[in-house]
Every structure is written in structure tokens, then in C-alpha cells.
Structure 1
Amino acid sequence: MIFTIGVLSFVIITIVIGIVVSRKVTDVEDYYVSGRNASTILIAGSLIASFFSTVAFMGEAGDAYLGYPLIMLLLSSIDVSGYVIGAIFFGRYIRRSRALTLPQYFGERFNSKRVRRLSAITTIIGMGAYLVSVTQGISLLVSNLLEIDFIYALLIVWTTYTLLTFLSGAKGVLLTDTIMYFVFTVATFISIPFILKKVGGWPEAISKTAHDLVNQPNILDWHGITGEGAFHGMPHEALIWAIILGLAWTCVLAISPWQTSRYLMAKNEHVILRSAVVATISVISIYIILFITMATVNLINPSIDPPEMVFIWSAKNFVPTFIGVVVISGIMAAGLSSASTFLQLIGNSLANDIFNLDKQIRKGRPTTTLRMSKLLMLMSGVVVLIITIFPPPAVLWIGFFAATIFAASWAVVGFTSIHSKRVNEKSAFWGMLLGLVGIVGGELFSFFIYPLPVYLEPVLIGVILSVVGVIYGVRTGEATSEEKDYLKKLLTAPRNLFDRKEIKVTNRFANALIIFGFIIIGFTFFYYYYPVNIY
């Protein structure tokens, strides 16, 4: 009963926040980009919260429980570099564009309607699929806690994040993302010691997990479980998979719309750089304790079904009730924050880049634009609701597929749009299109015809085809004067970038990241290596 009350209370609080913040939304810039004055904590909170959806706390946690904690940690250790890489080489330039959406940026950068619409379609497909995944995850959680049918849980979840996004737009999403970031971060770090204590305590629990699990040998080896019936048959296949997906997710964090769109809302470029550092530190800190600890739950219960519920099951059975409520609310917070972000991006791209409602702003009709944007946002939500009802839950697979669409379709075009003078409209269009066709075609082939080997991951096929498309465009076309002028504007640094006080503060964040690197090495040695190899 206490878990039911906790979840319902959290839903009510989320809706109330949306109603309160909606009163402060006065124009399109507020609704789309929160007035472009967000602080470091708001940007960092939104980056982390929109990333740590149910894909992390349910899908990836379930994968760690099934036997792959270290390989998931390896993947994550690679991909978190995307925050800093993206902020330095892409995000800060995007803010200079003053665009309302990422597709608008691509359209203006290449002076092309077809590039803008193609990137908008990619956004809608990718974010739509990811939203389905996240909605499934939260609905499974609510269904399990309230002991109600999945459909009713889905309606509760959908209504919550749709109302929040519909009413308050980017302002509400930024605020709730940050609140939710603190909730699930505190919940994770408080609950882990209780879970470890129940399964035997540190270092005994980790040592026993590594050496005593007969049904899951090698679970804490770097490659996880291998052999017949395992997800990865051989250790080298696990390594190749982690590296390819890790690099793909590096591109996702660096350039995907639900991450880099946060930079459009930042107060200045120093905020972008600082928030990337905070996100890097926060994400890897949570992952390292979450994955290894979820593997130890096998000592008590090796048959949690579905495995995505492992963290939730642990919160209900291993930790004090109040903390368990906070943990489950935190997981729900992560899911709702991601869902609201994804729905916002879908609605914004549909309104701004497919129906070109930004023309209404230029005609002096901002109220009409805001009203239509909200209507299209609601319609997008209804479509997602209908789609989510039918497919069986596949939280991790759908989430990974949806996110890596942007690595395949956008990464090459995005980075070259800033750092190449030769890339042009033709390059951008064919690079995006071939990347999208490559990953979608690869996934369909692997699913319906024949599973592709690990070294031919669909995202890798997409990236290679995207490179081919960009090279083709460079060889057969030229950048126009409009494209060159726009690039020149992007490369012109704002004055506040050289403010000495701002630089001094930003340098402190950079130094903190360096120090954190040494701390995490030491922590990993004592938390993991010592129990497994020395104790």
C-alpha cells in the first residue's frame, strides 16, 4: 500500500509542477528553449535525467543481472565521453545558431528544406521509438506496483507526462528533469548499501557472485557470461559489441536531439561545458555501483521475471520501506523525465520543422504558433499511446535501436557541419538518408531474415553508409555562399566566451573531471577488483 501511495503522490506532484510552470510560459522561446537562460544545474540535470530513463534503471540493470555487468560498464565508460566531446565540438556551436530545434539548425546550416524535413522525420522516428520503450518501462513498473492491468498503468503514465509537456513545454521539462535527477541519484546511492548488505555485504557478496554462482559462471568477468545460450557466444564478441555500441552511444550523447537540444537552452557556452562535466561524472558514478550490485542479487533470487524488474524487486525486498518508495519514485522519475523530453522534441519538430510554424512567428503571430505547437504535441502523444498498447515490452532493445539511429544518421553530418568547409547540402541530405536506411535496413534484416554478426552491427552499417553519402556530396557538389556565410557565423565566438571570471570557473570543472578520473579508478579497484581477485 505504501508503494502505491508513493507512486500516486509522485504522479500528482509532477502534474502540479506542470500546471504551475505553465503560467510562466509566455512565448514560443519559453515553450521550445526555456528562454535560453538555463543554468548549469538545470542543463546538467536535464541531460542526465533524459539519459537515465527506464532503459538504464530497468533495461540495462536487467542486462547486468542476467550476466553482463562488466561489459555494460565497459560500454558506458566509453559512451560518457560523448558529453564532453559533444559540448566542445558540437553543442556550443549549436547554441550560436539560435535555432529552436536541431532540424531547424540543419535546415538553416545547409539552406535546405529537404535536409530540415529529413532530420525532422529522423527525430520523430527515433524519439518516437525511444518514447515507446520508456513508456513501456514505466508502465511495467506502475502495473507491478499497483497490481493493475498494463493498459491502465499505461494510461496513468501517458497522462502524466503528456500533461506536463503539453502545459509547460521546455520550462517545465527542464525543472522536473532536474528535480527527478536529484531524486533518482539520491535513491540509487542510498539503496545500494542496503541491497549489498542483504546479499552478504561487501566484499563477501561480490566475491561470492564472482566465484560461487554455478548457473552463472564468469558473471563478474570482464566479458560476462559466454557460451551456448548466452547473448555473446565468445569473449571477443562481447568486446567488439561493447566497443561498437560504446562508440555509437558516444555519438548519441554528443549529437542526438534529446541531449544536444538542452544546449539550445543554456545561458552561455560556459554553462554548456560545465554541464557536460557534471553529466559525465554523475552518469559513470551511478553506473559503476548499479551494474555490479544488480549482479549480486542473483545470490538471493536468480529467477526474477522479467529481469528488467531487478532493481525494483530489490527496492521492495531489501531496503527500508521509505527508502524503497524513494527508489521506485526515482526510477519512475527517470522514466517520466525522459518521456516528457522525447514528447517535447517530437511535438516541436512536427510543429516547427514539418509544418513550419516558425513562419507564423515571422508574421507576428507567436500566439498562434504556441497554440498549434501544443495541439501537435498532444496529437503526437495520442499516436505514441496507440502504438505502445500493441507491441510486447522490449525496453532495452527498442531503446538501443532508437538512440543509435542518431549515431548512424546524424553523427557524420553533424560534426562535419561545423568542422568542414566542403560539406554541403547534398552531403548532408545523402549522409543522413543513407545512415538512416543503413541502420533501419540492418535491423530489419537481422530481425526477419538472418542475425548479423557482431562486427556488422546495424549502427556500424549506417555510419559507413553515412560517410559514403557525405563523400559523394562533397565530390559532386559545392557549398553555396549562403552555407559558407552561415558556417562563418557559427565559428564566430561570442564575447562572454573569453570572460576571465567565467573561464576560471569552467577550468575548475575541467580540473574536477581530471581528479574524478583518478578517484573512479581507485573506487573500482576497491569495490570490484579487490573482492573478485584478492579477497
Structure 2
Amino acid sequence: MPSTQVMVLTQSTPNFEVGTIDLAVIIGYLLLSRIIPLVVAGRAKKSNTKETSDTEDYFLGGRNFIWPFVGLSLVATNMSGATFVGLAGGAYDQGISIFAYEWMAAVVLAIFIFFILPFYLRSGVFTLPEFLEKRFDRRARMAFAGFNLFANMFIDMAAALFAGAIVIRTLYPDVPIWVAVAGLAILAAIYTVIGGLGAVMVSDSIQATVTIVGGLIVFIATWRAMPSWDAVYETAGDEKMSLILPPDNPDLPWPGLITGVLIIGLYYWTTNQLVVQRTLGARSLDHGRWGALLAGFIKLTFLFLFILPGVMALTLYQDLPSPDVVFPTLVFDLLPVGLRGLILAAVVAAITSTVDSILNSASTIVTMDFVKTMRPRTSDRGLVLTGRIATVVALVVAIVWAPFIAQFDTLYAYLQSVLSYLVPPVVAVFLMGIGWKRVTATAAFTTLVVLQPLGLVAFLLIEVQGLVELQFLYAAGIGFVTALLMLTVISAVGTTPDLEKTDELTWKTEYWREESRELRTTPVLANYRVLTGVMLASTVGLVVWFA
């Protein structure tokens, strides 16, 4: 389009100066967001009519969360400081195809709601490794608990803290990275150590709401600054405005949606203690399902809240020094004082929500999967104390490790693909374990302890050393099929597992028929099948619209 039609606000070095009013808004928000969760969680614990142990109260909030808290906490846990910065910057650089990870989450959550969550809640477990013990044996539990703890500490939490520190240093370049990391970690740990999952869920609900409002404000401000929607299309081009990319695309080939994005999504949303713990604390199966549905609907809005502003920025700013400054530039150029403080508070909220969830997940695994199994006579009070100590230890480890990521820029870039090599065996074990009662404990354990180390080796050889040219999303598909074959072969030649042990934890068609009869009298707006259908139809509509 002619340059006269484009309003260009280009600046080579954006001015990210935080004023007094904005700083006051940020500080006020941080203070309130530390106090409110502890107060609300304390009152909720007193009003809980369920008979629960101290460990249930601390690690699962007394299993009494209603669906809005479950849904908002799922969203907050999924978001980090990089949600604002990363999605907007990624859209500016790559286009709206990065929305694939968001809309695929809705598909994965539908699978979770229908086929996986009922078995988790039926088992009454605290952790997903514990579920593997009930379905298989202690070996599978220990193998997966070790991996989950490693992933939480050295991938999820360290990366979240590092990304958050980068955001802080964008605003305050003179702040040492370790100070930024430590400050963010301590902010997240204050209510996690004291209040457990109950305080985390309340905090996450507040953070998610503020983050969504913040994203909406930035979207509206960016939209109002645009000369026209046609200008967006003309500046971005067809490829950056398409959700579906060619199979040879280096970033997100369309077959990779099935071979990789789906597999990674199934790991993250259905087998990761960090995320699933929110639904384990739901008041009932219905509340767990409705909460997951709420999260799925919110994930679909990320296209408008975080991704389209990045694409629209192509029309407004054409020579930014880095895609990572797109979001801060939109905030500081388009929003008035005060509102900028709210958005920055939302960024900090997103960072701390991710970190507090990881801390709680790590402490739960350490306490319930390691300490309680090794010392089963430990009292409830002792387990809670252990959980608090584990939270502090996890905090210290993350603070020490996170700054080192800065020295390995290529490694940090590869962290986005490392899960493609590590998680396919996990997904296969859980899905096959629930879907086929013939899968044996030996097959599950062998698949985990053999294929995950091999996946790490493949990651180092392919992604780090570059010995083979293979798109990482395709690697995930290869790993998943290999895991399915290993599970099938070892189970087929092994002895049949105890069917009494597997009976309640594997899928049966009679479950579906029985539930169908119960749902006949359920109001439409409370029927999870109807609501899931609406969510999936909305997903298809968005994909087709932007395909």
C-alpha cells in the first residue's frame, strides 16, 4: 500500500521510562496481590465443609475449587511474562501461525475433559506420578516423578524466571539479571510457601483476570491506531496472515500440528503435574471439566489479545531493533500514564503466576512422591512442613540456575524444541495406560527409562550438533510412534496385568453409556459435551477464517 496511508511510529530505540504514577500502580498491585490470596484462601479453608487432611488442604486446596478458579488458574499457569512479549514479538516476526499452540490447546483440553480427567479424579491421587503407580507400579511412578521434577526446575521455572528478568531489564537495564530473577521468585514464593495451592489458585485467578484485561486494552489501543484492516493485510502479507503454513516451513509446517504441536500439547495439558494439579483440586468432576472448558475458551481469545497486536505493529513500526520490544513499544507509545502501569503489573502478574504454580508443583512431587513413599509414617503436619521446605529449596535452585541460561543463548532457543524429544514417551504411557488395560507395568517403565534418555541424545545430536536436518515437530511424531510400538510389543509378550488393579483406571464403553443416561436430564448450559462441542466449533471457525 502507498506509504502515505500508513501511520508509522517508528523509533529505533524505544523509550521505556516508567513514571511515578505507573510505578505506584505496579507497587500497589503487587502488595494487594500478595495479601488477598492469603486472606481468601484462609477463609475458604475455614468454610470448607469437606473433611480433609492438612496435606489435602496445602497441596490440593482441600479439593474444593469451583470451576472459575480452576479455569482461570489453568490460564494463569500457562501464561508467563513471555506471553505478552513472546506472542506479540513472535507474531511480528513469524505471523499469526504461532496461534497454533493456542488453538490446539482447546483441542487437547477436549480430549482431557472426555477421556483423561475422569480417571485422574476417580483415582483420588495427589500427583500424576502417583497415578502411574496405581495404574502400573512404583517404578513408573519414580521414573516419571524424577522427570517431572527436572522439567519443572530446570526447564519450566528457570526459563520463566529468565524470560521475566529480560522483561524487567528492558525497563531497567541497570538491574543485574540475578537481582531481577531473585525478586520475581521471592514475590511468587511469599504466598506459595504460606498458603499452598489454595493461595496459588486465588492469586492465579486475579493474575489471569488482570492479564486478560491488559491484553484487551493493548488490542483496543493498537486497533484504534491502525489506518485500516486492509493495511494490516497488505503490510503483513498472505503468509503472515495465515494459520496454516506449507510442509516445508522451517518454523511451523502444517503436518507438524499433528506430529508435534498435538503431542506437546497433550503432555503439557494432560500429563504435566504443573497444570493438572489445578483440576485435581476441583470440587467435583463437573467443576474440573467446566474449569478446563473455561481455559479452552480463553486460550482462543489469545489470537486477539496478544497475537494480532503483534501483526498490526508491522504497520505501525517498521524498523524495531528486535521483535521482543514490540509489546513494550505498543504499551509505551499508545497507552496513557496509569494504564501503562496496569499493563506492566499484568506482565509481572503473569510471571509470578507461572513461578508460583511451578513451585507448588515441585514441592508436591518432592513431598508426596519421594518423601511420603520413602517415609510413609510421616504425619500430615510433617508433610506440609516438608512441602514448604521443598518450595524454598526449589526457589533457591531456580534463582541460581536461571541466570546461567543467559550464557547459553542457543540452548535457551532450543528449550522450545527440547520437549519434542523428551515428552512423546510420557504421552504414550498415559494414553495407552488409560486406553488399553493390557499395557503392563514393565512396558511403561521400560518405555520411560529407555526412550527419554534416547530422546535427550537425539536432541543433542540433531538440534545442538545439527548432524541431521529434522524439524523438531516431526521428531515428536517419530518419538510418539516409537513409544507406542515399544509399549505394544513389550505388553504383548509379557504377562497380563492384574485386571482388578486396572479395572477402574482404564477406559470402558460402559462409562460412556452410563454417563449418557445421566446427561439426559442435565441442563444444556451445564452439559460438558454440548459446551465442548461449542468450543471445538469455535476453534474450527477461527482456523478456517484465518487459514
In the alignment, which residue of structure 2 is the partner of 1:7? 26
Q: Which amino acid aligns with 1:301?
A: Y
Secondary structure in 1 matching 2:116: helix
Q: Which amino acid aligns with 2:203?
A: T
Equivalent residue in structure 2 for 1:371, among 382, 385, 400: 385
Equivalent residue in structure 2 for 1:81, among 96, 107, 116: 107
Q: In the alignment, is the contact (CA less than 8 A) between 1:3 and 1:145 conserved in 2? A: no
CA deviation vs aligned residue, 1:172-228 (integer Å, no higher than 9, x gap): 111111111111112112220211222x244144233235xxxxx84324567x9xx
* Separation in 1, partners of 2:210, 2:251: 38
Identify if the C-alpha distance between structure 1 residues 14 and 242 changes in structure 2 by more than 3 Å, giving closer, same or farther. Answer: same
Q: Which amino acid aligns with 2:522?
A: I
In the alignment, which residue of structure 2 is the partner of 1:158? 185
Q: Which amino acid aligns with 2:476?
A: V
- Cα offset, 1:40, TM superposition: 0.7
- Cα offset, 1:282, TM superposition: 0.9
Alignment of 1:33-182 (within 5 A): 33-69=60-96, 71-110=97-136, 112-128=137-153, 129-147=155-173, 148-182=175-209
Equivalent residue in structure 1 for 2:323, among 296, 307, 323: 307
* Separation in 2, partners of 1:223, 1:21: 44
Structural RMSD (CA): 3.2
CA deviation vs aligned residue, 1:326-362 (integer Å, no higher than 9, x gap): 22222322222111111211121122212336854xx
* Separation in 1, partners of 2:516, 2:542: 35
* Separation in 1, partners of 2:418, 2:36: 29
Q: In the alignment, is the contact (CA less than 8 A) between 1:36 and 1:266 conserved in 2? A: yes
Identify if the C-alpha distance between structure 1 residues 191 and 34 changes in structure 2 by more than 3 Å, giving closer, same or farther. Answer: same
1:475 aligns with 2:475: no
* Separation in 2, partners of 1:477, 1:98: 28
1:16 aligns with 2:35: yes
- Cα offset, 1:135, TM superposition: 1.0
Identify if the C-alpha distance between structure 1 residues 520 and 99 changes in structure 2 by more than 3 Å, giving closer, same or farther. Answer: closer
In the alignment, which residue of structure 1 is the partner of 2:284? 268
Secondary structure in 1 matching 2:30: helix
Q: Which amino acid aligns with 1:43?
A: V
Instruction: Point out where structure 1 has 5 or more consecutive residues left out of the alignment.
Output: 212-216, 227-231, 530-535
In the alignment, which residue of structure 2 is the partner of 1:251? 266
When normalised by structure 1's length, the TM-score is 0.85
- Cα offset, 1:376, TM superposition: 1.4
Secondary structure in 2 matching 1:503: coil
Q: In the alignment, is the contact (CA less than 8 A) between 2:64 and 2:283 conserved in 1? A: yes
* Separation in 1, partners of 2:450, 2:66: 37
* Separation in 2, partners of 1:341, 1:330: 16
Alignment of 1:193-272 (within 5 A): 193-198=220-225, 200-211=226-237, 218-222=239-243, 234=249, 238-252=253-267, 253-272=269-288
Alignment of 1:383-402 (within 5 A): 383-392=397-406, 397=413, 400-401=416-417
1:338 aligns with 2:359: no
* Separation in 2, partners of 1:452, 1:30: 49
Identify if the C-alpha distance between structure 1 residues 525 and 463 changes in structure 2 by more than 3 Å, giving closer, same or farther. Answer: closer
Q: Which amino acid aligns with 1:127?
A: N
Q: In the alignment, is the contact (CA less than 8 A) between 1:59 and 1:395 conserved in 2? A: no
CA deviation vs aligned residue, 1:111-158 (integer Å, no higher than 9, x gap): x22211111011112222111111112222222234423222112101
Worse-matched range after superposition: 490-499 or 256-265:
490-499
Equivalent residue in structure 1 for 2:216, among 185, 189, 192: 189
1:327 aligns with 2:354: no
1:381 aligns with 2:417: no
* Separation in 1, partners of 2:215, 2:252: 31
Q: Which amino acid aligns with 1:453?
A: L
Identify if the C-alpha distance between structure 1 residues 358 and 14 changes in structure 2 by more than 3 Å, giving closer, same or farther. Answer: farther
CA deviation vs aligned residue, 1:58-98 (integer Å, no higher than 9, x gap): 323322111232x2123432332111101211112101111
* Separation in 1, partners of 2:249, 2:469: 15
Q: In the alignment, is the contact (CA less than 8 A) between 2:71 and 2:292 conserved in 1? A: yes
In the alignment, which residue of structure 1 is the partner of 2:449? 433
In the alignment, which residue of structure 1 is the partner of 2:372? 356
Identify if the C-alpha distance between structure 1 residues 289 and 121 changes in structure 2 by more than 3 Å, giving closer, same or farther. Answer: same
Secondary structure in 2 matching 1:391: helix
Secondary structure in 1 matching 2:331: helix
Instruction: Point out where structure 2 has 5 or more consecutive residues left out of the alignment.
Output: 1-18, 46-52
Identify if the C-alpha distance between structure 1 residues 234 and 463 changes in structure 2 by more than 3 Å, giving closer, same or farther. Answer: closer
Q: In the alignment, is the contact (CA less than 8 A) between 2:405 and 2:411 conserved in 1? A: no
Equivalent residue in structure 2 for 1:452, among 453, 469, 494: 469
* Separation in 2, partners of 1:461, 1:510: 32
In the alignment, which residue of structure 2 is the partner of 1:466? 483
Q: In the alignment, is the contact (CA less than 8 A) between 1:48 and 1:279 conserved in 2? A: yes
* Separation in 2, partners of 1:365, 1:389: 37
- Cα offset, 1:46, TM superposition: 1.2
* Separation in 1, partners of 2:455, 2:78: 21
* Separation in 2, partners of 1:455, 1:204: 34
* Separation in 2, partners of 1:502, 1:380: 47
Q: In the alignment, is the contact (CA less than 8 A) between 1:68 and 1:223 conserved in 2? A: no
